């Protein structure tokens, strides 16, 4: 199982990203992942880093489909691959119902169909194909201008079983979030593996896992709440957690339930690695260490130190 890191805050200056990109250069971290950029756009940040000579593998998990057409998504993902000289993982998801309503005028009647069309179009475009598809939500008749580039793997954000099945059918990678190792191993990964796969390569699974090192100045509820709290208000995340056996009620101790349920990992570096081993046993190919809670409560520098300590304590790391 490989380890990567998530940018643990939303920067408003590109220079703020440099320490985290350097963690990928100098440690065992496989790639730098970013979520949907809401201040500085994530693909622009990756290209800015490449422009100053910091070229590291990038992952985007997940970019929200309502923000861009699938053609533009393919252009941006391949652009990052060209700028960095490294393979890219481009993950997508439909976003919340309220986001869809706000940006599209109405939510997707079928997020699964919309996701199938979107991911299929992007994947075929970055593979160099001419795509002619008239879908219910996304239509395109186009191809990308030919240019030799590192490969782009196209992923799908997965919370529940039906989206896991869809990822198993049409995506290069399933990208999970807010799921315990037990939930992934018992529900999501079996659903993805059992799908009637349309692609020749086997599906890979990336799990984005919120983590924080313990310490005397830290309150686990504050850290878990900062990392996951906004998602706890959204119905699709609440339903996902219920399927994991974690009941959220909009109460102050919801964040603590995430720790007890194995969704938020808190403890020493060695304890965190012990719990991450369960993701390997579940069949995860890549774990993305998400120190957002630490970054929001104690600042980006502290988050960077946490990530460094966790990565340095990996077996075989120096």
pLDDT at 236: 77
pLDDT at 318: 54
CA 278 from centre of chain: 19
pLDDT at 252: 65
* Alpha helix ranges (H) inside the chain: 18-26, 42-51, 70-84, 97-104, 111-126, 161-170, 181-183, 189-193, 220-228, 235-243, 254-260, 269-282, 292-298, 300-312
Q: What is the pLDDT of residues 140-192, one digit of tens each?
A: 999 999 999 999 999 999 999 999 999 999 999 999 998 999 999 999 999 99
Peptide bond preceding 62: is omega within 30 degrees of 0, i.e. cis?
A: yes
Q: Quick one: pLDDT band at residue 251, thresholds 50, 70, 90?
A: low
Percentage of the residues of the chain whose pLDDT score is greater than 90: 85
125, 209 in Cβ contact below 8 A? no
pLDDT at residue 239 greater than cutoff 90: no
Check: CATH 1.20.120.1200 for 2-312? no
Average pLDDT, the chain: 94
Query: Collapsing DSSP states into helix, strand and coil, what is residue 263?
Result: coil
Tokens linked to 2: 């490989």
Q: Quick one: pLDDT band at residue 138, thresholds 50, 70, 90?
A: very high
What average pLDDT does range 261-270 have in this prediction? 95
Q: What is the pLDDT of residues 5-42, one digit of tens each?
A: 999 999 999 999 999 999 999 999 999 999 999 999 99
What average pLDDT does range 181-209 have in this prediction? 97
pLDDT at 254: 78
- List of residues 6+ apart from 267 with CB closer than 8 A: 213, 214, 275
pLDDT at residue 98 greater than cutoff 60: yes
């Amino acid at each position: 199982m490989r380890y990567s890191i998530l940018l643990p805050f939303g920067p408003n200056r590109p220079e703020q990203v440099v320490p985290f990109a350097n963690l990928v250069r100098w440690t065992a971290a496989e790639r730098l992942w970013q979520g949907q950029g809401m201040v500085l756009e994530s693909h622009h940040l990756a290209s800015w880093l490449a422009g100053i000579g910091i070229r590291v593998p990038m992952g985007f998990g997940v970019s929200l489909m309502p923000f861009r057409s699938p053609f533009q998504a393919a252009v941006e993902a391949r652009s990052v691959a060209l700028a960095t000289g490294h393979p890219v993982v481009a993950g997508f998801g439909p976003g919340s119902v309220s986001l869809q309503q706000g940006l599209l005028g109405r939510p997707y009647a079928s997020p699964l169909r919309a996701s199938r069309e979107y991911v299929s179009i992007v994947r075929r475009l970055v593979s160099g194909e001419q795509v002619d598809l008239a879908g219910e939500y996304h239509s395109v008749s186009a191809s990308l201008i030919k240019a030799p580039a590192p490969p782009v793997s196209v992923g799908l954000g997965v919370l529940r079983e039906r989206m896991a099945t869809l990822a198993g059918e049409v995506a290069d990678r399933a990208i999970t979030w807010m799921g315990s190792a037990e939930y992934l191993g018992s529900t999501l990964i079996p659903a993805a593996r059992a799908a009637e796969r349309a692609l020749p390569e086997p599906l890979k699974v990336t799990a984005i896992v919120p983590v924080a090192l313990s310490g005397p100045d830290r309150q686990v509820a504050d850290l878990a709440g900062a990392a996951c709290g906004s998602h706890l208000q959204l119905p699709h995340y609440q339903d996902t957690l219920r399927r994991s056996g974690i009941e959220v009620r909009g109460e102050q101790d919801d964040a603590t339930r995430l720790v007890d349920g194995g969704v938020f990992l808190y403890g020493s570096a060695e304890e965190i690695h012990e719990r991450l081993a369960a993701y390997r046993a579940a069949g995860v190919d890549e774990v993305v260490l998400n120190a957002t809670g630490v970054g929001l409560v104690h600042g980006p520098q502290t988050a960077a130190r946490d990530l460094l300590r966790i990565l340095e304590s990996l077996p075989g790391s120096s």
